[in-house]
Amino acid sequence: MRITRSCLGLALLFPAPGPAFPAAAQEVHFSPEERLDAIDAALIGGARRSIDFASYALTDPIVIDALNAAQGCGVAIRIVLDPRAP
């Protein structure tokens, strides 16, 4: 697995490149210069089969809406949150 992180504390997990999963371009983003919530929502919106989502906390409404929309389109979503988060 390859993990992509944003400053929102979001970690999106992508399958390791191989025959079934071609290599994806690496991207680096910075806050507050960029809208990381919108970038994360776009990545979530690009999912077609599944999303494995790990985060300290899940509070951003744009990201939550994107996850709900993906689920509504039939994307399987697994979320792991830090149990120590407030």
Starting from the edge strand earliest in sequence, which strands make up the sheet with 10-14, in order?
2-5, 10-14, 50-55, 76-81
- Number of neighbouring beta carbons within 10 Å of residue 63: 22
- Number of neighbouring beta carbons within 10 Å of residue 54: 17
Nearest to 39 by CA among 48, 57, 27: 27
Tens-place pLDDT, residues 24-58: 667 788 888 999 899 989 999 999 999 988 888 88
Segments making up each domain of the chain, as ranges: 2-17+29-81
Please determine, looking at this structure, whether the domain spanning 2-17+29-81 carries the CATH number 3.30.870.10. yes
Cut 0.75: pTM above it: no
The identity of residue 4, as a single letter, is T
